[in-house]
Every structure is written in C-alpha cells, then in structure tokens.
Amino acid sequence: MKHSVHLAIAIVCLAMPVHAAQIITPVETSVSVNRGGVVAFKPVYALSSPETGAETGLGMRVHFDARALLFKEVKNAFAYGFQPVGEVVVDSLDLDADPNTDHYLTLAWVDVAAQWPGNDKPPLTLGEVWFEAQSAFTGTTHIRTTASDTADGTAFQSTPMTLAVSAADTVMLNMRGFLQGAYVTSSGQMRDNLRTSKLIPLTQPYAEWGHNGTEMTTTALLDTAGNDAPVDWVLVELRDQNQPQTRIASQAALLQRDGDVVDAATGSNTLVFNVVPGDYYLALRHRNHLGMLSAAPVTLSANANLLDFSQMTTPVYGKDVRIQQGLALLLPTGDANLDNKLIADGPNNDKNTVLGEVLASPENTGTHTNFQLPGYRVTDLNLDGKTLYVGPDNDVNALLGNILLSPANSTASTNYILPGSLPR
C-alpha cells in the first residue's frame, strides 16, 4: 500500500475560532499482541467546540518504532478526500517528541471546498493502519500521531496507542506422509521429478485454499538431493478440537522423498505454530491428492509429537480412503478439480479436468489428447512434471484405479464417486 507520492495539500482559509482542535484518538488505546502477530491502529477523528463541522481536511503522520513494528498496509480508509498513502520515512526531526518512534507514514484528506468530511459527521474512524509485531521484539511500544497539516485556525490533539508485545505461545509438531502420485513401492520413497525439473515454486501455492501465509523456500533447499529431496509443497492445518471443519492455524511446508514434512525456510522437520498449547485435529493436504485428518484431537505442546499418516497404526477421521502400497498408506491422487472427491466419469469428473487442460493449452496446436503438457499444474496427478491424458505414464490411470479398486465400489463402476474424508 506504499506509494511514492508528493502530497500536495492545499488548505484554504476557513473562518473558525482559533480554539477549535482536530482530535485523533485510537479506537483502542492499549493493545496486547504476540511477536509475529498483526495489529491495527484505528484513528477516530473528532473536532472540538467551537467548530462548524466542515474543514479543508487533515494531514496526519502515524509514528511507530520500526524495531518493534513492521508497517503492512492501510485498509478501509475514509474515502472522502483521501490522498495516496505516503512512503514510510525516517523521523529524523523527531516530530512526535519520542525518539523511540523513529519512522512514520503520512495519511491525508483534502477538500479545497472546505466541506470535509462531507456528509459524515465526527466522530468517525479514518481507517485501519496495519502493523506486524517484529519477531525479535518484546516489550512496550507506542503508535503516535502528529499533524502534517490541519484546517486553518485549528490545533491538533492526539492520544497515543500503547502496545504490549510478548513472546507468542508456540507448539511444535512432527508430521509424515506419502503422496500416491509420486510414490515408488520398490524404494519406499517418492520421486522428486518436480524438483529435478526445477518446477517447485519458491513461494507457497495454497492461496486459493484460503491459506494466506507468506512461506517461502530457498534454492538451496530445492537443490537438496537424496532422501531429503523436496517432492512438493503440502499444507498442514491445526483444526478446532470441537469443530474439525474449522481451521485454527495452517502452514505451508515441504514434503521430502522419505515422507518427512519440513519447514520450508529451514528444512527442519519440527514445525512451529504460534497457538496456545492444547488439543487440535491435525490435517495434511496436497494440491491434487485427498487430504487426511487425524481421527481425534492430538495434544500439542512445546515438545513435538509425531503424526505419521503413512502408518496403519495412525487412524484417520471418517472413512479411511488411503491407498495401501506395500507397508505404506498413501494420500490418494486424482482430485484435479479441488472438490474433495475423486470422480472418473459423470458430472464434474476429474478426468475431464485433465483432458481440458491438455486440449486447451496454446502449446497443443494440434489439440492432441496424447500431448504432453509440461509445468507445475494441479492436473499433474502423478507429479512427474507434465500433464498427460493418454499414453504411457498418463495422469488418468491412477485416478481410474482408485475409483475401480475402492472397497466401497462393489460394482466397479467408473462413475462411482470416492468422497474425501476431510471435513470442509
């Protein structure tokens, strides 16, 4: 939300008593937040008496300590006369008389006709300035405001917002699992074709799943070969112990060839979540495989517990649709249209999603059904770096096999619907 702008604020003379003041008070004057958490400063605008209620606007600096807070964005700004948000700059002149609040950004509202704030009468909330508490900071900090411009004849008064930043509660978790699409029974591990083809993205791919994390990995981790070679991104979720369809926290992580789920930035097989220790359902999800949820809530604390979805001794929530290959249980592949079920024939089937991806590709100039479409795609059900509808190593056979061989499909019907067990 940062924009490099020149704030040209023309404040025309307004005949009003010199004793009037434009006043800023935060909605909350005292807030507690954990390190790494986000917090919103919500300034409320008022005007003291004597006043007319119509001014030429307001220019306001929002001061903060950059060691304690990281500016994220401005949201829901009061629209009437609102100007582009200024860059965050160093407060070299100490304009708020607090040497600790060493940076500021400027918000401004302008109406040369002196009708601001229009039909909305004070007090009114001017917006939300969002910050993230720095992970290395604990203690007390402040968000203060000063005026860069006020309506002619007015003073400026403000109340600071006090933030208490504390170390977050954390829990730790070890998790394992295998993806059917990449699993090789003879080795008991998964293939890493996506990695060797350099198709795995550096940033997590689960935004459309409602996961808004900023997880990133490194080229060094993606260059790792052997048992610890990354296979693909997965999504780990902590869910409410009483409502397993409700997600409490989530983290995008990397799945290695040997089944370990590891931190995308560090490669550690211990995942850390900033939540209160307690009982949570645990889920492991993938872009085109059916996800799994623990059969019951698992107690999480600062001491990591292991949940291994590849083991027969690990029960899962609902009907167990994992695929057995050798001694391992695998997350089933085939959910190309992300609807939490596998369908080979009939309405909304996954086979047609694969076919449509192949035929619609501009690269497939001859619209051949056996065209090999390279890339990191959800339709690449066997995770070999290409989407293929028919022919050797195609992406449809595993889907069809999961449908036909399902114990619940007593008639071996191709239009049988294999539902996922993950509650949504």
Q: How much is the mean pLDDT over the chain?
A: 91
User: How much is the pLDDT for 40?
Assistant: 93
The stretch 179-187 carries a mean pLDDT of 97
pTM attached to this predicted model: 0.65
User: How much is the pLDDT for 62?
Assistant: 98
Q: Among 149-153, 269-273, 389-393, where is mean pLDDT lowest?
A: 149-153
pLDDT tens-digit readout, 304-333: 999 999 999 999 999 999 999 999 999 999
The residues with which 301 forms a beta bridge, in sequence order, are 172
Q: Which of 168, 169, 161 is nearest to 31 (CA)?
A: 161
The stretch 202-231 carries a mean pLDDT of 95
20 vs 381, higher pLDDT = 381
The stretch 27-35 carries a mean pLDDT of 90
Q: Among 132-141, 174-183, 227-236, 366-375, where is mean pLDDT lowest?
A: 132-141
Confidence grade of residue 378 (pLDDT, cut at 50, 70, 90): very high
Q: Which residues contact 43 (CB under 8 A, 6 or more apart)?
A: 24, 25, 26, 27, 60, 62, 125, 126, 127, 129, 145
User: How much is the pLDDT for 16?
Assistant: 38
* All domains in the chain, ordered by first residue: 21-166 (2.60.40.680), 171-313 (no CATH), 341-419 (no CATH)
Confidence grade of residue 342 (pLDDT, cut at 50, 70, 90): very high
Q: How far does CA 1 lie from the centroid of its chain? A: 18
Tell me: cis bond preceding 423? Omega within 30 of 0 counts. no
Query: Residue 72: what residue type?
Result: K
User: How much is the pLDDT for 49?
Assistant: 73
Confidence grade of residue 201 (pLDDT, cut at 50, 70, 90): very high
User: How much is the pLDDT for 17?
Assistant: 42
**Beta carbons of 291 and 283 less than 8 angstroms apart:** yes
**In the predicted structure, residue 6 carries a pLDDT above the cut 70:** no
pLDDT tens-digit readout, 138-161: 899 999 999 998 877 788 999 999
Confidence grade of residue 92 (pLDDT, cut at 50, 70, 90): very high
d(CA 219, CA 51): 61
The stretch 248-269 carries a mean pLDDT of 97
Q: How far does CA 13 lie from the centroid of its chain? A: 47
d(CA 15, CA 54): 11
User: How much is the pLDDT for 14?
Assistant: 33
d(CA 114, CA 84): 19
Q: How many CB atoms lie within 10 A of CB 108?
A: 21
The stretch 353-370 carries a mean pLDDT of 96
User: How much is the pLDDT for 15?
Assistant: 34
Confidence grade of residue 186 (pLDDT, cut at 50, 70, 90): very high
User: How much is the pLDDT for 5?
Assistant: 31
pLDDT tens-digit readout, 32-82: 888 878 899 999 999 887 555 677 889 999 999 999 999 999 999 999 999
Contacts 24+ apart (CB under 8 A), 401-408: 402/180, 402/323, 402/332, 402/333, 402/334, 402/342, 403/334, 403/342, 403/343, 403/344, 404/344, 406/321, 408/319
**In the predicted structure, residue 414 carries a pLDDT above the cut 60:** yes
**In the predicted structure, residue 12 carries a pLDDT above the cut 50:** no
| Secondary structure (H, E, C), the chain | CCCCCCCCCCCCCCCCCCCCEEEEEECCCEEEEECCCEEEECEEEEECCCCCCCECEEEEEEEECCCCEEEEEEECCCCCCECCCCCCEECCCCCCCCCCCCEEEEEEEECCCCCECCCCCCCEECCEEEEEECCCCCEEEEEEEEEEECCCCCEEEECCEEEEEECCCCEEEEEECCEHHHEECCCCEECCHHHHCCCCCCECCCHHHCCCCCCECCHHHHCCCHHHCEEEEEEEEEECCCCCCCEEEEEEEEEECCCEEECCCCCCCCEEECCCCEEEEEEEECCCECCEEECCCEEEECCCEEEECCCCCCCECCCCCCEEECCEEEECECCCCCCCEEECCCCCCHHHHHHHHHHHCCCCCCCCCCCCEECCCCCCCCCCCEECCCCCCCCCHHHHHHHHCCCCCCCCCCCCEEECCCCC
d(CA 338, CA 334): 9
Q: Which of 399, 395, 397 is nearest to 416 (CA)?
A: 399
d(CA 43, CA 29): 10
User: How much is the pLDDT for 79?
Assistant: 93
Tokens of 25: 């008070």
d(CA 102, CA 344): 60
Q: Which of 259, 174, 253, 175 is nearest to 221 (CA)?
A: 253
User: How much is the pLDDT for 260?
Assistant: 98
| Secondary structure (H, E, C), 49-89 | CCCCCCECEEEEEEEECCCCEEEEEEECCCCCCECCCCCCE
The stretch 412-421 carries a mean pLDDT of 94
